[in-house]
Chain A
Amino acid sequence: MSALLKVEGLRVEIARRGRVMTAIDDVSFEIAAGEILGVVGESGAGKSVTGTAVLGLLERPAFQAAGRILFDGRRIDTLDEDAMRALRGREIAAVFQDPLTSLDPLMTIGDQLTETIRTHLDLTQAEAVERAARLLAEVGIPAPRERLASYPHEMSGGMRQRVVLALAFSCEPRLIIADEPTTALDVSIQAQILDLLRAMCRERGTAVMLVTHDMGVIAEVADRVAVMYAGRLVEVGPTQSLLAEAAHPYTRGLMGSIPDMHRRDVELAQIPGSMPRPDAPVPGCAFHPRCGQALPRCAVERPLTFTAGASEVACWLADPAARSAA
């Protein structure tokens, strides 16, 4: 299985007041065509920065300091702005957290759809309008043709996020970066939007990098899960096995904090202590100050990545050498 998206050794730094901090450190993962990868972790873990780097939208003071990003086998992190722009919205689309602020308040949603469509596809205005109406119908907006003339403020948050989905899917991208697409919505609407996103992706074979801090969301839609902690990837594995037997103590902590996997309103991490920030890095394993099973070497040596069952895990506890010694 060749990967659609391949991130290798990604490192993102933030230069502030003469200091350089590391926000993302040596992150590697893959997303196969049509696959939904859930990315979880506490707020500030680096999920959004990772997604932004894939979109090529990192902005001062953040910048990519190392690593490679490949899309469909082609390196994209070194593309010039014009080439990357042609990819954005066309091959790699985005859905952001807050539908209330994602749309231009002064432009009709029809115009926002057609401008996106016509930027990437060689269609006439009439054809673009046709396509826009079809998209609105697909995302479940009633009376789509009339709705084209609506302004964002005339719609509810849930409707606006549907419009955002229509925009994301407007040019049939192969990958969607969905950064907490339901977090800002009413709990009652979250499930609808999530179902819609999943259904549209499955139908088209669109891959998704689904950023969330909601384990319930992960359990429901993700094929595989990547767990982030303090700018690093601590565990990656298939959803089922990861939920059943997490290898990393942090992942287990995340699970432990969720009594019922299907309740979406439960947030992550009731693990005591707090995650180190980029401006105060922790030597060794970033999680060791909060880890109940920390070994002496965890405070000194940065853990390597080991295979544990179906997962990859960055933890000394998973070191076969240590396990055989024990």
Chain B
Amino acid sequence: MSFVLGRLGQTVLVLLVAAFVSFSLFRYVGDPVNNMVGQSASLAEREAMRTALGLDDAFVLQFARFVGNALTGDFGMSYRFGQPVATLIAERFPATLELALISMLIATGVGVPLGVWTALHRDHWLSQALMAASLIGVALPTFLIGIALILFFSVWLGWLPSFGRGQVVEIGGWSTGLLTTSGLRALVLPAVTLGVFQLALILRLARAEMLEVMRADFIRFARARGLKPRAIQYRHALRNTLVPVVTMIGLQFGNVFAFSIIVETVFQWPGLGLLVIQAIQFADVPLLAAYLVLIALCFAVINLAVDLAYVAIDPRVRSGGGVRGTV
């Protein structure tokens, strides 16, 4: 339990640092007053604006105000869209999160079993083919995969839509595309595009870890105990490969968010990625700041989930012993 509490403390610290970085954006990227009142405003108008925005207050005070507002979900108004940042993000976040989660689910759900299979059937031709394919999957740029999939499945075969999110359903302020056929159909290509790289990576890691574990002494001893191959492979070997694989999945979530910007652009997916591209183009500082904090929050939640997974998988973590990977 103290393990989890310690993790929570670290999480809060990480979030504060992220908040500080995003808050610093305000001071060093452009002049918010300029952005809001335009070039034509008089000096007096600008001063009035500065005071109204609290920009003349002490730095610490401003930061405290930023954190306080952020805690209530208030990140100010977007320069570019003239709407509350919180509203903009709330509209777009579900699309990105669903895309990221589903692509990771595909990558894990396919990558782990395939990795284990290739490790157990090293000499099978299919295993060699999968390894070669996974190399390509790691090497191919994401946008190229996206365009190729669009060309094949949308343009030539006409099976799946090439852009947009399809029909969405509102559930308690969360717009989900997972409950309609058109939403699911629209999700397939972007999720696969985003997932290919992760899938290839997870497959290769799962295979390498599985091969390593199968050479371990306790597997040899399990064979000497006369256990059935299934029990050895799944009850003993697979479980022992899960810790590093879970670590990697947690770490890769960061990449998934980063690459989702590309995928959202290719597929015109109405998520945060598209919003952020626009925010960057227009130096929309409040939006960028909120985005940074949100991403940091996502990371923190994922890391916490990874830690909980460790606790569930590995008794050595529970009793406070070492053997932890990264994070």
Contact = CB atoms under 8 A, between A and B. Distances in A.
B315 A93 contact: no
A46 interface: no
A167 B316 contact: no
B65 interface: no
B64 interface: no
Interface in B217-236: 217-218, 220-228, 231, 235-236
Contact of A96 (B220, B235, B315): B220
A315 to B, nearest CB: 34
B240 interface: yes
A102 B218 contact: yes
Contacts of A87: 226
B235 to A, nearest CB: 7
Interface residues of A, number: 29
A153 B239 CA distance: 16
Nearest to B215: A59
B102 to A, nearest CB: 29
Q: Is the interface of B mostly helix, strand, loop or mixed?
A: helix
A167 B226 CA distance: 11
A177 B223 CA distance: 13
B50 to A, nearest CB: 60
A93 B226 CA distance: 8
B9 interface: no
A88 B240 contact: no
Contacts of A164: 221
A120 B227 CA distance: 9
A89 B240 contact: no
A96 B221 contact: yes
A301 interface: no
B313 interface: yes
Contact of A98 (B217, B231, B236, B314): B217
Contact of B240 (A93, A94, A96, A106): A106
Given A104-B236, A104-B240, A106-B314, A57 B226 contact: no
A182 B221 CA distance: 16
B216 interface: yes
Nearest to A108: B315
A116 interface: yes
Nearest to A82: B228
B223 A115 contact: no
Contact of B224 (A89, A119, A120): A89
Contact of A88 (B216, B225, B236): B225
A103 B226 contact: no
Interface in A13-61: 55, 57
B319 interface: yes
Contact of A102 (B217, B228, B231, B316): B217
Interface residues of B, number: 23
A85 B228 contact: yes
Interface in A114-156: 115-116, 119-120, 151, 153-154
Nearest to B224: A94
Contact of B315 (A90, A151, A177): A151
A271 interface: no
Contacts of A86: 226
A65 interface: no
Contacts of B316: 105, 151, 153
Contacts of B217: 96, 98, 101-102
Given A106-B240, A153-B315, A153-B316, A88 B223 contact: yes
A107 interface: yes
Interface string B233-274: 001100110000000000000000000000000000000000
A116 B227 contact: yes
A119 B236 CA distance: 15
A89 B220 contact: no
A85 B227 CA distance: 7
Contacts of A96: 217, 220-221, 224
Nearest to A84: B226
A119 B227 contact: yes
A89 B222 CA distance: 9
B239 to A, nearest CB: 5
A90 B316 CA distance: 31
Interface in B151-173: none
B223 A153 contact: no
A167 B221 CA distance: 10
Nearest to B227: A119
The CB with the most chain B CB atoms within 10 A, among A57, A98, A103, A105, is that of: A105
B316 to A, nearest CB: 5
Nearest to B225: A89
Contacts of A98: 217
15 contacts: A57-B220, A86-B226, A87-B226, A88-B225, A96-B224, A101-B216, A102-B217, A104-B222, A105-B240, A107-B235, A116-B227, A119-B226, A153-B316, A153-B319, A164-B221
Interface of A: 55, 57, 85-90, 93-94, 96, 98, 101-107, 115-116, 119-120, 151, 153-154, 164, 167, 177
Interface of B: 216-218, 220-228, 231, 235-236, 239-240, 313-316, 319, 321
Given A101-B216, A105-B315, 10 more contacts: A57-B223, A93-B224, A101-B217, A104-B218, A104-B222, A107-B239, A151-B315, A153-B319, A153-B321, A154-B319
